Amino acid sequence: MRKRKLGMALSLVLAAGTLLGACGKSDDNKGTDTTKGGDNKAAFTVAMVTDVGGVDDKSFNQSAWEGLQEFGKQNNLEEGKKGYTYLQSTSDADYSTNLNTLARQGFNLVYGIGFLMHKAVDDIAKQQPKANFAIVDDVVEQPNVASIMFKEQEAAFLAGVAAALQTKTNHIGFIGGMKIPVIERFESGFLAGVKAAKPDVKVDVQYSGAFDKAELGQTIAAKMYSSGADIVFHAAGATGNGLFKEANDLKKKDPSREIWAIGVDRDQNDMGPDVVLTSAMKRVDVAVVDIATKAKNGDFPGGKTTTYGLHEDGVGLAPINGKADKKDEIEKAVKDWVDKIKSGDVKVPATLEELKTFSAK
């Protein structure tokens, strides 16, 4: 009888030990999970869908992807389904499918990169109400969508000032992608900057109708340069790559020729160190990191629009090429205009209609 009681007591002790051990393991698991930083919550995952320009368009989509990579680096995430990734769209038919795929894979935040993705983001956000989305360059009025906008006109204005002060022929060009509000902001700001710095400069404006046709960009640029323009600014995504090719080719044929190109979205000096005067930077990367960080910290701005301008360091002008003989003059003028814009003394026009009544005085 004593043996039976002793056996039962030992069994109870072992059972209690097992329970305590299980509780101990549960506590020990805190701080060791999918994040490298040691947190009991699953890693915050983020992804993006490119527009047709592709992730390596050297411009808009690439800037967004660089932002996603930076967010991953800041948060010790790995590229892939458990960290950060992207899906590339080869046509607009891919937008909804790609957004839905990433949402179903459980990403905490999914970006739709570009104005062209408005309908797809709106549709999928309704279908996936528990998922969070963000769209760049447009406003989608859904509670689970954060809208990201920029004051592109402010960066383009500074590019216009630079072009007007550097031109020797008093003839420059602007190549747009598609005629949509975001590109109109670039055009309006650029024309206003030229007007403010040197009103007598002629500006040729032409749209390619696409963001992924480098050959069209080169054709348009060739016509502008041959007609006397010595500086051409593009706001055309991957189509603008054709501008750089034409400028580089012309410079190689005649190294003494004064010829410049102005980039967009990111510092595009790498597209031609001998021909890229500067770039109207639109810091999509900064916005991507900012919204992702807010979402990760529980402050996702769903249903709201966040706008980035000079004040927020969301737009700006890349360094002026050291080979430009007007570099010092341009830098001084740009600084003065930045101060005026930030102080509110100058409001840069965001539309061609506003440009009609614009005065920098």
φ, ψ dihedrals at 184, nearest 5°: -65, -35
Tokens encoding 197: 């710095």
- pLDDT of the chain, 361 residues: tens digit per residue: 444 443 444 343 334 443 333 443 333 333 333 334 444 467 899 999 999 888 988 888 999 999 999 999 999 999 999 999 999 999 999 999 999 999 999 999 999 999 999 999 999 999 999 999 999 999 999 999 999 999 999 999 999 999 999 999 999 999 999 999 999 999 999 999 999 999 999 999 999 999 999 999 999 999 999 999 999 999 999 999 999 999 999 999 999 999 999 999 999 999 999 999 999 999 999 999 999 999 999 999 999 999 999 999 999 999 999 999 999 999 999 999 999 999 999 999 999 999 999 988 7
Long-range Cβ contact pairs of 1-6 (< 8 A, separation 24 or more): none
349: Cα within 13 Å, side-chain hemisphere: 22
Any idea where the domains of the chain sit in the sequence? 46-150+286-308, 152-281+326-355
Considering the domain 46-150+286-308 in this protein, what is its CATH number?
3.40.50.2300
| Paired sense of beta strands 171-176 and 145-150, if any | unpaired
Bridge partner list, 205? 174
CATH number of 152-281+326-355: 3.40.50.2300
Matching residue, tokens 């038919």: 93
Closest CA to 47 of 110, 122, 116, 134: 110
Same fold, 46-150+286-308 and 152-281+326-355: yes
Helices 152-166 and 181-197, interaxial angle, to 10°? 40
Global pTM reads 0.84
